[in-house]
Chain A
Amino acid sequence: MFINNRLGLLESTETLLAQEQRLNQVSNNLANVDTPGFKKENVTFWEMLYKANQNRQRVGKALRINTIQEQGVVQKTDNPLDVAISGDGFFKVQTPAGIRYTRAGNFQRNNIGQLVTPAGYPVVGDGGPIAIEGQKVDIAPDGRLFVDGAQVNTLAIATYEDPRDMIKEGENLFRLKDNAQEQVPLNFVLQQGHLEKSNVNTVTEMTEMIDLYRAYESQQKAIRAVDDLDDLAVRRVGSLG
């Protein structure tokens, strides 16, 4: 009986859920404000037209989560195995599930002397996994890796053609979509002893939070109003005094 009202409720509820998704992204971004190599995400919505019944269409929300690949802040750590990329490109790491990409350059040595991520995945170089059998490691801005003065390998740096091909997988890793090709990045500079931190800007996230909170509040008021109408209809209409 309240078909029109119900549709209003449906749309409002969808918007509430959409704003909650936005809040999820904002919270995740804020939680990772200090994570090395983290790339923030935001949500874009667009309207989709659904057919509610033969008389009416309703507007629904579809959403997509985008990763923003902006350069993060580069911090000096003086750790010889920390490397930061200034510009385009990702480090390549070998995981049991295949080649993955990361911007987090906080590398370590494992027990057999290979250069690995903190999770233990070996970093890929142009000449295979990078073995460090020596004391002093020097990394040139173009990726060449020297151990005790002699070049042993070059860090492999790769990038994407379409930003939507790089999918976040967690553990600071990205995965290339199946049919996407790697590309050699045009301009990048590696800085040893530096670490690229997250690209999350607290002020931006805070204002997003204010914006979505107020939007959520408005929608809640809309639901309240619909409910009041129902209430009136149920209790008042047709009562005689």
Chain B
Amino acid sequence: MIRSLFSGRTGMTGQQLQLDTIANNLANVNTAGFKKSRAQFEDLYYQELRAMGTETADGGQIPAGIQVGLGVRPTSVQKIFTQGSLTETGNELDWAIEGSGFFKVQRDGEDYFTRSGAFTLNADGTIVTQNGDRLQPEFTVPTGTNVITIDANGMLTAKDAEQNVLATTQVTLHNFINPGGLRSVGGNLFKETDASGAPTEANPGSEGLGTISQRFMEVSNVDVTEELVNMIITQRAYEVNSKSVQTADKLLEVANTLVR
């Protein structure tokens, strides 16, 4: 009975974590380049009251033992890197990645990766994110630039008002063996970790990387319907686990009232 009390507790705290994840997904339903998270659970240890396969007194073997589970435990809260839909903005520095890959930006000398292609120019004309992180490889548009175009393979061209080409550069994308292992640091940025593997750099459209669509933004890949359904499931699972706790309490009460 005490075991069911604590199993019910692990169930409730597990569902709390699930709800935290769902709430974060819903809060970011409109964040450009956001990738939804999913909490994964695993069963906890089992207490073996009788081991299977042990020998019985008359030389036989026990075919099935007694194993009592002790509850649930979260194993991971993982980012799901499915493609978000693209929405047209008309802004020449809004670049959406269609396919896999990340832009590399630099902040305070450290490299970060992002799917959010909402770039802008800073006062020096360098291409930066909305927070001022510089796009790598760094590129500063020359003065007199009127139009910036970038094609699907990342070739950026800066032209002046008379359509003369002032400068070109190749924008590259980066891919990881395990994007789920990237560390989210907030601000739409990810950092490389041992789990994600080292990034491989290449031109968009080559080596499995996606292509760049200019004047489009990739919206968040959160599906509101899916999150709401998960929320209902989570709430019911929480309720059902609270029933385990309450029932364990009732059983203990009955045991205690055996003595008058």
Are A207 and B259 in touch, CB under 8 angstroms?
no
Are B249 and A203 in touch, CB under 8 angstroms?
no
A210 contacts across to B, CB distance below 8 A:
5, 245, 248-249, 252
B6 contacts across to A, CB distance below 8 A:
207
B260 nearest CB neighbor, chain A only: A224
B15 nearest CB neighbor, chain A only: A203
The contact string, 1 if C-beta is below 8 Å from chain B, for chain A 190-211, is 0000000000010110110011
Given A207, A214, A217, A221, which contacts B9 in the complex, CB threshold below 8 Å? A207
A217 contacts across to B, CB distance below 8 A:
252-253, 256
> Measured between C-beta atoms, what is the minimum distance from A6 to chain B in Å?
20
Number of interface residues of A (CB under 8 A): 13
* B171 interface residue (CB < 8 Å to A): no
B246 nearest CB neighbor, chain A only: A210
Number of interface residues of B (CB under 8 A): 18
The contact string, 1 if C-beta is below 8 Å from chain A, for chain B 178-198, is 000000000000000000000
* A167 interface residue (CB < 8 Å to B): no
Cα distance A201–B6 when bound, in Å? 14
Are A203 and B13 in touch, CB under 8 angstroms?
yes
| Majority secondary structure, A binding face | helix
* B12 interface residue (CB < 8 Å to A): yes
* A225 interface residue (CB < 8 Å to B): yes
Given B8, B253, B255, which contacts A207 in the complex, CB threshold below 8 Å? B8
Cα distance A207–B248 when bound, in Å? 10
> Measured between C-beta atoms, what is the minimum distance from B187 to chain A in Å?
12
* A218 interface residue (CB < 8 Å to B): yes
Are B259 and A224 in touch, CB under 8 angstroms?
yes
Are B245 and A207 in touch, CB under 8 angstroms?
yes
CB within 8 Å of A: which of B4-35? 5-6, 8-9, 12-13, 16
B253 nearest CB neighbor, chain A only: A214
A218 contacts across to B, CB distance below 8 A:
255-256
* B161 interface residue (CB < 8 Å to A): no
Are A214 and B252 in touch, CB under 8 angstroms?
yes
B260 contacts across to A, CB distance below 8 A:
224
Are B252 and A203 in touch, CB under 8 angstroms?
no
Given B9, B249, B252, B255, which contacts A204 in the complex, CB threshold below 8 Å? B9
B2 nearest CB neighbor, chain A only: A211
Indicate the member of A204, A206, A207, A217 with the most B CB atoms within 10 Å: A207
Whether A203 contacts B12 in the complex (CB less than 8 A), given A210-B5, A210-B245, A211-B2, comes out as yes
**B-binding residues in A (CB < 8 A):** 201, 203-204, 206-207, 210-211, 214, 217-218, 221, 224-225
The 23 sampled A-B contact pairs (Cβ below 8 Å) are A201-B13, A201-B16, A203-B13, A203-B16, A206-B245, A207-B6, A207-B8, A207-B9, A207-B245, A210-B245, A210-B248, A210-B249, A210-B252, A211-B2, A211-B5, A217-B253, A217-B256, A218-B255, A218-B256, A221-B256, A224-B259, A224-B260, A225-B259
Task: Report, nearest first, the 9 A-B pairs whose CB atoms are least far apart.
Answer: A214-B252, A221-B259, A207-B9, A217-B256, A203-B12, A210-B249, A218-B256, A203-B13, A207-B5
